[in-house]
C-alpha cells in the first residue's frame, strides 16, 4: 500500500550508533572499574562529576535528611506516583503465570516464573534530575520479587543525591543506594567492587556513556534495552487543538537538544497553526534554549493525505511516545503496532505517563519499539521450563529423539535417548549387577 505524505519540516535520521570516541572511553572506564574497583570509582567520580566522596553508599541518615527537606505536598506527589506505578505493575504480575500440563500420557511439561536474584537500577541526573524515574525501574523489580535492588545515581556538586530523587529511591524500594554516575556506575554494578555488589541485571536510562556501558557489559549481566534521547509523535486530524499540540511537543523538546518532537497531521491547517503556536509559546518557557534548539534541529512536521497514511507513518517511526489527538482515538488502536507507550485523546498527555498515572516511562527509542517494549514487571522475571517423563512416557519419546540424534550425528545424545528403552533403567541405574 502506498503512503501519501508531505514533509513541512524534516530532520536528519536518528541513529542509535555511538561514536567511536565514546565507545573507547567507556571501554577504558569499565576496564578500570573491573581491575581496580573502588579506587577507580573514586578517581572517575572526581574526574567526571567534579566531587570527592568518602563513601559511595548513601546512609539512612542522609535518606532521612532528604525527606526532611521536602514539603508535605512534595512527598505526597512522589508517594502518589510510586503507588500508581506499583498498582499497575502488580496488575501486570497477576497476568504472568506458570503452568504444568500433561501434553501426552506420561510426559508433563511446564514453566515457572522466577525473579532475577539481584537488579541494578540506574537513575540519571543530568539537566533535570527526574523524580519519577526511580519508581519506573525500582518498583517493577520489587513487585517481581527481586531479592536485592541496588540503585546508582550521579552525585551533585555537594556530593549528595538530589533530595526528591533520593526520597523516591528509598520509598520505591531500593535496598542499597550509591552516589555513582555514568559508565562507572554501570561497571560497578556489572562487575562488583569492594563497596558495590555485582548484580544479575541492569536497567534504567542514561546518557550516551551510560547507554554504551550497558551495551558493553551485556552478556556478563542482562540489561533492559538501549535507548537514546526521548521522542514523541503526535498524530492529529482536523479536530485537534493546535495550541495543545504545540504545548505537548514542547514538553518533550525541553528534555534535551537531541530529543525528537514529531507532528503528523491529516490536516495541513492544524499542522501549520500548531507550529505557529509552538513559536509563540517558546519565549515563555524557562527551558526555551533547549526546547528551541531541539525543535530547530530535530522537530518534524508531516502532513498525511489520509488517516491510514498517518498510521503508516507512525508505525514506521516506531516512536517512544505516541500521542493520538483525533476525533475517535480508539478507532485506530488496533492499527498501531510500533510504539513504546500510547496516549489516547486530548486529556492523556505524555507527561501523565512520564510522571504520575502508573504506566512505565522507561521506554524504547530510535525504532527499538519495532521489536521490544519498555521496562515492565517481566523485565525482572525469568521464564524457566521443566519436564518430567514416566517410564511409559519415555518409551514413546525416546525412539523419536534418538532418530533426530541419528540424523544430526549426535551419537552420545542418541545413546542417552536409547538408554531409556532398556528394561533395567530405574532409580539405581548403573549400580545393578
State the catalytic residues. 320-321
**C-alpha cell belonging to residue 77:** 506527589
Distance CA 131, CA 163 (A): 9
CB-based contacts of 278, cutoff 8 Å, min separation 6: 246, 249, 250, 295
343 Cβ neighbours under 8 A, 6+ residues apart: 321, 322, 323, 324, 349, 350, 352, 353
399 — alpha (psi -120 to 50), left (phi > 0) or beta? alpha
CA distances from residue 270 to 70, 181, 253, 275, 375 in whole angstroms, order as listed: 42, 43, 19, 9, 34
Q: Residue 362 and residue 205: Cα distance in Å, rounded?
A: 7
- What the block records as the C-alpha cell of 182 is 555514568
Amino acid at each position: 500500500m502506498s503512503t501519501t505524505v508531505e514533509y513541512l519540516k524534516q530532520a536528519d535520521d536518528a541513529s542509535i550508533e555511538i561514536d567511536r570516541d565514546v565507545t573507547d572511553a567507556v571501554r577504558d572506564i569499565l576496564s578500570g572499574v573491573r581491575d581496580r574497583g573502588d579506587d577507580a570509582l573514586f578517581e572517575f567520580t572526581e574526574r567526571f562529576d567534579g566531587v570527592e566522596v568518602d563513601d559511595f553508599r548513601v546512609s539512612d541518615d542522609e535518606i532521612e535528611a532528604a525527606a526532611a527537606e521536602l514539603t508535605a505536598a512534595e512527598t505526597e506527589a512522589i508517594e502518589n506516583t510510586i503507588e500508581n506505578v506499583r498498582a499497575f505493575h502488580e496488575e501486570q504480575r497477576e497476568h504472568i503465570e506458570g503452568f504444568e500440563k500433561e501434553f501426552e500420557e506420561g510426559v508433563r511439561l511446564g514453566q515457572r516464573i522466577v525473579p532475577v536474584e539481584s537488579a541494578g537500577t540506574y537513575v540519571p541526573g543530568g539537566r533535570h534530575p527526574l523524580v519519577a524515574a526511580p519508581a519506573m525501574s525500582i518498583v517493577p523489580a520489587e513487585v517481581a520479587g527481586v531479592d536485592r535492588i541496588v540503585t546508582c545515581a550521579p552525585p551533585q556538586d555537594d556530593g549528595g543525591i538530589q533530595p526528591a530523587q533520593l526520597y523516591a529511591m528509598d520509598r520505591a524500594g531500593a535496598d542499597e543506594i550509591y552516589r555513582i554516575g555514568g559508565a562507572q556506575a554501570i561497571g560497578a554494578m556489572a562487575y562488583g567492587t569492594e563497596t558495590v555488589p555485582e548484580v544479575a541485571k541492569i536497567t534504567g536510562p542514561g546518557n550516551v556513556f551510560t547507554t554504551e556501558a550497558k551495551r558493553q557489559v551485556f552478556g556478563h549481566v542482562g540489561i533492559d534495552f538501549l535507548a537514546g534521547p526521548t521522542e514523541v509523535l503526535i498524530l492529529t486530524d482536523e479536530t485537534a487543538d493546535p495550541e495543545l499540540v504545540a504545548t505537548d511537543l514542547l514538553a518533550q523538546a525541553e528534555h534535551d537538544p537531541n530529543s525528537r518532537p514529531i507532528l503528523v497531521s491529516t490536516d495541513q491547517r492544524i499542522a501549520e497553526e500548531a507550529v505557529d503556536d509552538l513559536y509563540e509559546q517558546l519565549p515563555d518557557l524557562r527551558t526555551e534554549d533547549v526546547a528551541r534548539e531541539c525543535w530547530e534541529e530535530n522537530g518534524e512536521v508531516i502532513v498525511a493525505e489520509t488517516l491510514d497514511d498517518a498510521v503508516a507513518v507512525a508505525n514506521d517511526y516506531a516512536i517512544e511516545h505516541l500521542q493520538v489527538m483525533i476525533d475517535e482515538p480508539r478507532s485506530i488502536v488496533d492499527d498501531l503496532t510500533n510504539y513504546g507507550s500510547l496516549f489516547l485523546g486530548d486529556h492523556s498527555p505524555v507527561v501523565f505517563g512520564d510522571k504520575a498515572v502508573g504506566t512505565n516511562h522507561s521506554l524504547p527509542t530510535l525504532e527499538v519499539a519495532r521489536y521490544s517494549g519498555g521496562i515492565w514487571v517481566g523485565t525482572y522475571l525469568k521464564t524457566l521450563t521443566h519436564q518430567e517423563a514416566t517410564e511409559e512416557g519415555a518409551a514413546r519419546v525416546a525412539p523419536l529423539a534418538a532418530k533426530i540424534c541419528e540424523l544430526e550425528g549426535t551419537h552420545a545424545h542418541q545413546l542417552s535417548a536409547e538408554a531409556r528403552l532398556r528394561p533395567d533403567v530405574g532409580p539405581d541405574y548403573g549400580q545393578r549387577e
